Structure 1
Amino acid sequence: MQKFHLFLLGLVLTTASQAEELTLSANQSKTLGIVTAPLPSKQQGELAGMPAQVVIPGNQLFTISTPLSAMVEQTLVGVGDAVKKGQPLATLQSPALAEAQRGLLQSSTQAQLSKENLARDEQLWKDGIISESRYRATQSQYRETNAALAERKQMLRLSGMSDTDIARLQSDNVLSSQLTLKSPIDGIVLEKTVSAGQRLDAAIPLFKVARLEPLALEIQAPLASTQELKVGASVAVPAHNAKGKLTAIGRSLSGGNQTILLRAMIQDGASNLRPGQFVEATISTSGTALDHWNIPNSALARIGSKVMIFIETPKGYRSEEVTVLHEGADNSVITSKLKGNEKIAVKGVSALKASLMGIGGE
């Protein structure tokens, strides 16, 4: 009763002298639910099924923050909107901006006065009316006031004012507390963290804007499968019809799963992908790479530290040790000394594993 019911059914599996050949008739295979399928076409010269995540290249992602303490007056775009470079994203009311503008006008006045004083004292010095030390002191004051003016201009540039706006301020002497945040690139608004009426301190992130073409992939690959990889190799995401090139191969292993991080740039078909999306990538390898097969996880049997598959033979099944290069949710990429024309068991593998281990019959 405890012999896996094989004895009662007359379905005794016998092993060969090396415990690798399992003798099993067609009726016994059917009763045990063993199903075979042709070995999928080998994938020579490529690594398939590599887990990857779509990311935005660092130089294509911008965060727009509040340059000064302010209150949000109006937001002009939402998440998912396409924006152009220089397009307003939001308007703010900032008393600190008016204060910075007032400081610029003061510095501008002082710089103009020091310029006139320098011109006058230079002539007086040349005429011998004043000493050289007084002329040098006037020169120093002129440099200081111009440095202060340049500092004030830079502060306003960081606040979002253009050089044209600063020049207009100097000519018109009209202060404004309204601050307009603009997009630095042509792109898509990915994040928006504020709404009208909020009061904010300086350097609070409000928007994230990114250019989504091209996109990048971060690929986790086992160390054993990276030996034949080279920067510039072709990378594809077959499920989304996207293609690109391998741009970097990591030098260190991740602590958790002992994989190496690969980076790729997707130029073709990037619009079919989304940042943060998890996909499976295929990477071309050099011509000396081992042959690979992408088989169902149900075809794998683990016995101790070994991974086996079962190949159909005229008498039954033969166990074959394989190396798993990548194990996915449904399929795994393996390499082994296979011809490629074999039929392997894809269902009922547990019964074959039990027989191989000497369980279920005598």
Structure 2
Amino acid sequence: MMTKTGARVVLSALLPLTLLACGGGGEKKADNMAGMEGMEKGEGEKGEAGKPADKDAVSLSAQQIADAGIEVGRPAIGGVAGAIELLALVQGDPQGVQVVSATIGGRVVSLTRNLGQSVRRGDALAIIESREAASLNAEIEAARARSALAQSNLRREQRLFAERVSPEQDLIAARTAATEANIAVRLAQQQLSATGGSGGALNRVAIRSPLSGQIIARSATLGQTVAADGELYRVANLSRVTIAASLSPADAGKVKPGTRVEVTSAGRRQEGRVTFVSPALDETTRLVQVIASLDNAGGTWRVGEPVTASILLPSIGDHSITVPSTAVQSVENKMVVFVRTPSGFKAVPVQAGRRNGDQVVITSGLTGSERIATTNSFTLKAELGKGGEMDMD
């Protein structure tokens, strides 16, 4: 039989083992739970900080979008019924090309501009020496002298009339003579101005540019004798040019002023608008002349250059959605358009319909209110294949 002292010894020995067994199991369970929580937390962080959770998304900052040369725009609503493609010719805008002619006959003693040089309106382009110029300048001098004499007589008559020496009739006559003399001076000056203005000597007149632009033709030669109205230069303001083409009467009936025209040549493409559709057929070709206006502030197009013009015929009552062909890409055998999101772009599947020029009709997938990548979308396609994170280093 065990004594009380022996029982206390056995209990003292068993108690640490019991506590160790219980405590060890608790710590192991806590460690396992912490590990699971860590794994779940780690997986969640990877989903946010790793590859985008959406496999169709590409993450880019605004700076990365700009560096990649990606332009963002909206789809166009209202498609085109088709396009008429034909050859055309670049011409100068009729409002922007003028002939500079000799205003009087004489000898050309100075030419201040050569081909290609820029001029401003009112710049002297040539100096012509002639007897007619001498007569015009002499008439001005004589008219000024007569005007000065008439003004002097008027002042004298005003003084005499105030002193009650001269009758009012003499004062009225002096005032009339002074007025007529002033009119004669202005007339002589206007006649000289019509020729271009004084050329620095009594027998010379200056021929001035009627508009700002560029010299595109020079017909005169220094020392040449020219007749009145003889062509000296041609000046053109080519900030706008026109595209001239001919259509069959059937096609011309579909085109109206304001219709869009895409002009292409040697890797260049630009859009203009139809400004004129002739109401009559050309007597020789039996075709209808169509003219479109094109911005040329950058000097992209040259007068006389042949180009290809595609006249885009609008669809009446059509509300279809069109995007540039450069906005559509094929990803995993699906046609997609990259739609702008707060964090970058998302590849949205679409159904593509007919193609008109460089525009593609989207039959489904877009509402028309989205902002989409219109250029360099192939870059987004490549980054989507890498996992959606663009490295711009």
Pairwise same-fold verdict (TM > 0.5) = yes
Partner Cα distance (1:199, 1:259) in 2: 43
Following TM superposition, by how much is the alpha carbon of 1:59 offset from its aligned partner in structure 2, in angstroms?
A: 1.9
Report what 2:282 is aligned to.
254
Residue 44 and residue 68 in structure 1: after superposition, are their counterparts in 2 closer, same or farther (change >3 A)?
closer
Partner Cα distance (2:292, 2:102) in 1: 33
Following TM superposition, by how much is the alpha carbon of 1:150 offset from its aligned partner in structure 2, in angstroms?
A: 0.3
Alignment deviations for residues 183-226 of structure 1 (CA, whole Å, 9 cap, x no partner): 33332212211212211222221111111121012221222123
Partner Cα distance (1:136, 1:288) in 2: 74
Partner Cα distance (2:296, 2:123) in 1: 28
Is 2:227 aligned against 1:201? yes
Report what 1:104 is aligned to.
140
Is 2:236 aligned against 1:210? yes
Partner Cα distance (1:155, 1:44) in 2: 56
The structure carrying a bigger helix percent of its residues is 2
Is 2:113 aligned against 1:77? yes
Following TM superposition, by how much is the alpha carbon of 1:275 offset from its aligned partner in structure 2, in angstroms?
A: 2.0
Asked whether the equivalents of residues 241 and 272 of structure 1 are also in contact (C-alpha less than 8 Å), the reply is no
For structure 1, the 5+ residue unaligned runs are 1-42, 170-174, 290-362
Following TM superposition, by how much is the alpha carbon of 1:126 offset from its aligned partner in structure 2, in angstroms?
A: 4.7
Report what 1:263 is aligned to.
291
Match for 2:166: what amino acid? I
Residue 269 and residue 211 in structure 1: after superposition, are their counterparts in 2 closer, same or farther (change >3 A)?
closer
Bigger RCO (CA 8 Å, 6+ sep) = 1
Is 2:220 aligned against 1:184? no
Q: Secondary structure at the match of 1:195?
A: coil
Following TM superposition, by how much is the alpha carbon of 1:87 offset from its aligned partner in structure 2, in angstroms?
A: 4.1
Alignment deviations for residues 119-173 of structure 1 (CA, whole Å, 9 cap, x no partner): 33234345543333333322221222111100111122223227xx9xxx9xxxx
Report what 1:144 is aligned to.
180
Partner Cα distance (1:52, 1:259) in 2: 13
For structure 2, the 5+ residue unaligned runs are 1-78, 318-393
Higher mean C-alpha displacement, 263-272 vs 185-194: 263-272
Asked whether the equivalents of residues 51 and 221 of structure 1 are also in contact (C-alpha less than 8 Å), the reply is no
Partner Cα distance (2:259, 2:80) in 1: 14
Report what 2:315 is aligned to.
287
| Percent of paired sites with the same residue | 21
Asked whether the equivalents of residues 47 and 285 of structure 1 are also in contact (C-alpha less than 8 Å), the reply is yes
Note the 1:165-184 alignment, pairs <5 A. Answer: 175-184=201-210
Match for 2:287: what amino acid? T
Alignment deviations for residues 81-134 of structure 1 (CA, whole Å, 9 cap, x no partner): 333444443333334323322221111111121122223323434554333333
Match for 2:176: what amino acid? S
Greater Rg over alpha carbons, structure: 2
Is 2:130 aligned against 1:91? no
Partner Cα distance (2:204, 2:284) in 1: 50
Alignment deviations for residues 292-338 of structure 1 (CA, whole Å, 9 cap, x no partner): xxxxxxxxxxxxxxxxxxxxxxxxxxxxxxxxxxxxxxxxxxxxxxx
